Amino acid sequence: MSALTSNKTYAALAGFQAFDAVICAIPAPQITKALDAVNCPQEVRPVLPVVKGLSVIGLLAVYRFPALARLTTFMLTIYFVLAVGSHIKAKDYSPGLGASSSLLALFAAMTALGPEAEETS
């Protein structure tokens, strides 16, 4: 068992995504500032909390539907490819670029490995 394949990791990341969805929905001032820095269009912003909320469901599906959880990590990899690309395009070399890059690497690795297989007796 690896930390990247552990169901607990999926659950912890679901908690992180839930928190992120809430602060995007509010929206918290630091989120607005970060989205402004990458020139995120206003019409896209209301969709972000929905996408993040749905990712919570997908990540928590690891307990019953591991394939859905793996698909979710793949979709989050794509999301963070777009986020990193947005930072680079906007020449925004803030800590947000580092965070997006780290999450891109994390979700890509989780997609490659997949969740741990449930042991059968």
Provide CB contacts within 8 A for 85, sequence distance 6+. none
Q: How many domains would you assign to the chain?
A: 1
Q: Is 77 among the domain residues?
A: yes
Q: Is 16 among the domain residues?
A: yes
Host domain of residue 42: 7-113
Q: Is 2 among the domain residues?
A: no
Q: Is 119 among the domain residues?
A: no
**What pLDDT sits at residue 119?**
55
Reading the chain (121 residues) residue by residue, the pLDDT tens digits are 689 999 999 999 999 999 999 999 999 999 999 999 999 999 999 999 999 999 999 999 999 999 999 999 999 999 999 999 999 999 999 999 999 999 999 999 999 999 997 655 4
Which H or E run includes 118?
Answer: none
**What pLDDT sits at residue 59?**
98
Q: Is 91 among the domain residues?
A: yes
Exposed e or buried b for every residue in 66-99, given b needs 16+ CB within 10 A?
beebbebbbbbbebbeebbebbeeeebeeebbee
Q: Is 15 among the domain residues?
A: yes
Q: Is 118 among the domain residues?
A: no
Q: Is 100 among the domain residues?
A: yes
**What pLDDT sits at residue 121?**
46
**What pLDDT sits at residue 117?**
78
Under 8 Å between Cβ of 88 and 60: no
